[in-house]
Amino acid sequence: MRKSILVALILVVGCSKNAPTPSPSKPPGLRLTKNQRTPEDLAVAFQKTLQANDSEALMMLSLLGQGVKNWKVIARAQNVLSLKLLETELAEAKKTPRENRTEKEQARYFTLQSQIGKLNKTDSNDYWQAQESQLPTIRRQFTEKSYLRFVLAMNEAGINPDVVKLGKVDTSRITKNYLEADLRGGTVILHYNTKGEPLETGIAYDCVQFLDEGWLIVGQPRVIRHTVIGPQPKPGAEEPEPFAAPSGE
């Protein structure tokens, strides 16, 4: 629950449905893209940016390299999903009368109200103008800092782009209802080989299909371990993700 909320409260980052059926109740841009690049093509392009050590090229494969039009679609979908979770928890909290709540329960009650209020304010024109004005700073932060940390995490996990070969591109987690918003997207997992042997570590990222730009990365690429047993690679320091969607927190 907490993890889902934090995803929507991170700062940075329309997708497509399979069937192009316009509806006034859905955000614009949710149609099948004319761009025929597949998730597998995106993975190959992603790997080429790593081999070239080109942070700007990698950025252009993500929402961070685009404007805010499609960014809004992802942010809204994330926020709607988070609002459902928050409002469900708040409704449950309201079942306990104020005088019977513990201090901790009452603190959580006020926190829920605050988070819901902030998320409800993230769809105004002023809000999105402010987000758009911050894009140059966010992009610079990625190319100068976040990309380097990602490369260091890869190297620590034994994923040297000059040595490893991209093997299987696992797209089995892509759905037609990403973020429960009728969006085609999901998590892609990259498997690597070195000297003919598969690596235990790989890279995962979320991607979605956009009407105008095709498949793009919408979540922070992360180093993972394929094996269930054993420690996972350490996550980076807590900071805004360079590819995520903004919200009110």
**Is 171 within 8 Å of 39 (Cβ atoms)?**
yes
Looking at residue 73, its amino acid is V
Integer Cα distance of 110 and 86 in angstroms: 12
Tens digit of pLDDT per residue, the chain (249 long)?
444 433 333 333 344 444 334 444 444 444 444 467 899 999 999 999 999 999 999 999 999 998 888 888 898 898 898 999 999 999 999 999 999 999 999 999 999 999 999 888 887 788 888 888 988 998 999 988 999 999 999 999 999 999 999 999 999 999 999 999 999 999 999 999 998 899 999 999 999 998 888 999 997 899 999 865 455 445 444 444 444 444 443
List the domain boundaries for the chain.
2-225
Integer Cα distance of 87 and 117 in angstroms: 11
**Is 172 within 8 Å of 197 (Cβ atoms)?**
no
Phi-psi label, residue 53: left if phi above 0, alpha if psi -120 to 50, beta otherwise: left
**Is 161 within 8 Å of 199 (Cβ atoms)?**
no
pTM: 0.73
- Classify burial at 98, counting beta carbons within 10 Å of its beta carbon; exposed 0-12, middle 13-18, buried 19 or more: exposed
